[in-house]
Amino acid sequence: MEVMPNDLQLDDVDRTILEALSENARIPNNRLAERAGVAPSTALQRVRALRAAGVLRGFHAEVDLAALGRPLQAMVAVRLAVHHREQIDTFTDRVRGLPGVLSVFHLAGATDYLVWLAAADAQDLREFVVGHLATDPAVAHAETSLIYEHRRGPGIWGAAEPGAA
């Protein structure tokens, strides 16, 4: 029997496992089990079940973009000229495949998209916006905001520790 995410009943052990993995996806299984109060074999089985159900969709590394030569980050608010399904899908697929794009958010409201990107410098950012957005006939308007600082929040798990990055 396949368990779908909407049918999945999460208990306190599952929630503890998800919280621990959200904080540190590389936590050793024995420490994960200890934190959840279960045997290591149970913790491993729970992680596998959460992955199979689609609750855990991946494990990600946080990368220092400046160390990779892309210290400048920006959010570009994009408004499309037309809102046809085909144009929306084409724009989304095209933009998320461009170099430097970290995430693409499709929104409701006055702004249709937020494009989060990392650039080498102001000229690189300008070339991205002019070359890929401002000249795109699908784009009615693009407005760039520089990101001074980015800190991850605790997600759905509670308050962040003071000073936590």
Give tens-digit pLDDT for 32-52: 999 999 999 999 999 999 999
Per residue in 108-153, pLDDT (tens digit) is 999 999 999 999 999 999 999 999 999 999 999 999 999 999 888 8
Domain boundaries, the chain: 12-52, 66-147
pTM: 0.79
CATH code 2.60.40.10 for 12-52: no
**Which CATH topology does 66-147 take?**
Alpha-Beta Plaits (3.30.70)
CB count in 10 Å sphere of residue 13: 16
Beta-bridge mates of residue 105: 114
pLDDT by residue (tens digit) across 6-24? 667 899 999 999 999 988 9
Helix H, strand E, coil C: the string for 69-128 is CCCEEEEEEEEECCCCHHHHHHHHHHHHCCCCEEEEEECCCCCCEEEEEEECCHHHHHHH
